[in-house]
């Protein structure tokens, strides 16, 4: 026996045996217990990297273990193949996004096959295929018809070079995680899902997840973001405007001496208009829109603000409170 492992010979031989025997093809066998195992679908960005190797090896170990324990394991593979990266790469390479995407899929599929992962390739999918995304569209329509998907204008993290919206997690110290250029706040019409309607259900289910690390369920609870408190209305002096503030600590409002509005708050330009603070407020809004506004980044900033020229009234004690726009709350 050769004491050295010869991957070219051994892996190719066994992978062919597996493929000829259709070992990983899944058929419905109601008598056997099912086990569905899905790792994340990769983005067809070019070639697989060590992150794919690690991630899919972990999943494959679980799939094989469960198969050996007698489960009917469905271990599918697919491609998360929509989005701006394909479009940007296509522009950069002067090619069609579909061509770029399908070529990458072919390359990466061949690489994953060489890794010997136990996928049922008959069930491969790509999210850019109409047979797939028609069901996403169908689901979306069900939600839109029930008012669970709706549009409103809001601020987003915008990367100009990538021409895309970024999640807070994709902004690193004010820079785009992909191109490293500064991210700015941009007002756009956005689709929203009304997940607040499900906050209670989601919270209950956080408690029912067995074996999840406490820090993950805490993260989920914070993300669901339900908090109990009161909405307090501050009348703006010499104006019909009212500033509504939600607080979990209404008892502290007695001590409030000034009011801060986010630079994006629609009232800010209105309050400053016609006062001698108008220019200073406009300049502040422009500058702050370039800052990373994720909660992590905000903690590290010098806290700063500009007086809007307006006052509101503390409803608890009737005192005048200057209204500022600021980069913190």
Question: Residues interacting with Zn ion, by CB under 5 A?
Answer: 159, 161-162, 176, 178-179
Shortest reach from residue 183's CB to Zn ion, in Å:
7
Closest CB to Zn ion among 157 and 327?
157
CB of 300 to Zn ion, least distance (A): 21
Per-residue tokens: 226: 């339900």
Nearer to Zn ion among residue 166 and residue 285 (C-beta)? 166
Q: Which helix (H) or strand (E) holds 52?
A: helix 50-68
Q: Are 264 and 274 in contact (CB under 8 A)?
A: no
Which residue, 279, 273, 266, is CA-closest to 306? 279
Q: Report the nearest approach of Zn ion to the CB of residue 50 (Å).
A: 23
Which DSSP string corresponds to 79-146? E---SHHHHHHHHHHTS-HHHHHHHHHHHHHHHHHHTT----GGG-EETTSHHHHHHHHHHHHHHHHT
Q: Could you tell me if 76 and 125 are in contact, meaning their C-beta atoms sit under 8 angstroms apart?
A: yes
User: Which residue's CB atom is positioned nearest to Zn ion?
Assistant: 176
Q: CA–CA separation, 323 vs 329, rounded Å?
A: 12
Measured from the CB atom, the residue of 120 and 172 that comes closer to Zn ion is: 172
Q: What is the closest distance, in whole angstroms, from the C-beta atom of residue 160 to Zn ion in the complex?
A: 8
C-alpha separations of 79 from 32, 125, 129, 166, 276 in Å: 28, 6, 10, 20, 56
Q: Which is nearer to Zn ion, 162 or 306 (CB)?
A: 162
CB of 176 or CB of 306, closer to Zn ion: 176
In whole angstroms, the minimum distance from the beta carbon of 303 to Zn ion comes to 28
């Amino acid at each position: 026996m050769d004491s050295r492992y010869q991957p070219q010979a051994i892996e190719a031989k066994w992978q062919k045996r597996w493929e000829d025997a259709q070992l990983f093809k899944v058929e419905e066998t109601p008598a056997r217990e099912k086990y569905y195992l899905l790792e994340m679908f990769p983005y067809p960005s070019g070639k697989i990297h060590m992150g794919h190797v690690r991630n899919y090896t972990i999943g494959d170990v679980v799939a094989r273990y469960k198969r050996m324990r007698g489960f009917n394991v469905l271990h599918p593979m697919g491609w998360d193949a929509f989005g701006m990266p394909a479009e940007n790469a296509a522009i950069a390479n002067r090619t069609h996004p579909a061509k770029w995407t399908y070529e990458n899929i072919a390359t990466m599929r061949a690489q994953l096959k060489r890794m010997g992962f136990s996928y049922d390739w008959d069930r491969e999918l790509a999210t850019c295929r109409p047979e797939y995304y028609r069901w996403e569209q169908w689901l979306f329509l069900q939600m839109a018809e029930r008012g669970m998907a709706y549009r409103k204008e809001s601020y987003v993290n915008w990367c100009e070079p990538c021409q895309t919206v970024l999640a807070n997690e994709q902004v690193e110290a004010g820079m785009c995680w992909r191109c490293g250029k500064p991210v700015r706040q941009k007002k756009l019409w956005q689709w929203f899902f009304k997940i607040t309607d499900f906050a209670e259900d989601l919270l209950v289910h956080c408690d029912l997840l067995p074996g999840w690390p406490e820090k993950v369920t805490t993260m989920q609870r914070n993300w669901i973001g339900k908090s109990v408190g009161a909405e307090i209305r501050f009348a703006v002096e010499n104006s019909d405007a009212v500033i509504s503030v939600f607080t979990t600590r209404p008892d502290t409002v007695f001590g409030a001496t000034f009011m801060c509005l986010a630079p994006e708050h629609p009232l800010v330009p209105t309050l400053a208009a016609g006062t001698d603070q108008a220019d200073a407020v406009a300049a502040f809004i422009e500058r702050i829109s370039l800052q990373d506004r994720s909660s992590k980044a905000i903690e590290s900033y010098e806290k700063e603000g500009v007086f809007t020229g307006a006052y509101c009234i503390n409803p608890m004690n009737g005192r005048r409170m200057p209204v500022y726009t600021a980069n913190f709350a």
